[in-house]
């Protein structure tokens, strides 16, 4: 089974009136061993300086877009412990289930979305 992730935008912010404050995470799953019933998205943060990580959040149910493509629009404030770090990477993993609700596969951990606190040096609308 292969996983091809997509994300937009490449950086999101948390803080008052800061945008963008959400990211669309999508995945195209190739060669599943059996039909896919649903995909859960798990997220956590990793500090850019120290490598320290938050705990994984509970699985978020992704929306099926057809042809083994799934997506989820994640708001910054929905990330567990979103304020733990000033500057972090949003790490995410996809877990795939069949119609019997059995786990049939999971992706590697991806971490290519920047997750940054918006403060006095980042006005509203900063990118």
pLDDT per position as a tens digit, 59-86: 999 999 999 999 999 999 999 999 999 9
- How many Cβ atoms sit within 10 Å of the Cβ of residue 44? 21
Distance CA 12, CA 16 (A): 13
The pTM assigned to this predicted structure is 0.90
- Cβ atoms 70, 29 nearer than 8 A: yes
Distance CA 8, CA 61 (A): 18
Token digits of residue 31 = 């060669």
On the question of pLDDT at 37 being above 90, the answer is yes
Between residues 27 and 125, the one the model is more confident about:
27
Average pLDDT over residues 33-52: 98
On the question of pLDDT at 121 being above 80, the answer is no
Distance CA 93, CA 59 (A): 9
- Domain 2-117 fold: Immunoglobulin-like (2.60.40)
């Amino acid at each position: 089974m292969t996983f091809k992730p997509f994300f937009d935008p490449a950086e999101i912010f948390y803080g008052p009136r800061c945008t963008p404050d959400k990211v669309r995470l999508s995945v195209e799953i190739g060669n599943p061993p059996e039909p896919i019933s649903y995909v859960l998205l798990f997220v956590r943060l990793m500090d850019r300086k120290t490598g320290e990580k938050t705990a994984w959040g509970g699985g978020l149910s992704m929306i099926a877009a057809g042809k083994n493509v799934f997506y989820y629009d994640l708001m910054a404030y929905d990330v567990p412990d979103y304020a733990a770090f000033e500057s972090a990477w949003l790490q995410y993993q996809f877990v795939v289930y069949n119609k019997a609700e059995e786990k049939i596969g999971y992706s590697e951990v991806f971490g290519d979305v920047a997750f940054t606190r918006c403060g006095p040096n980042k006005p509203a609308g900063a990118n």
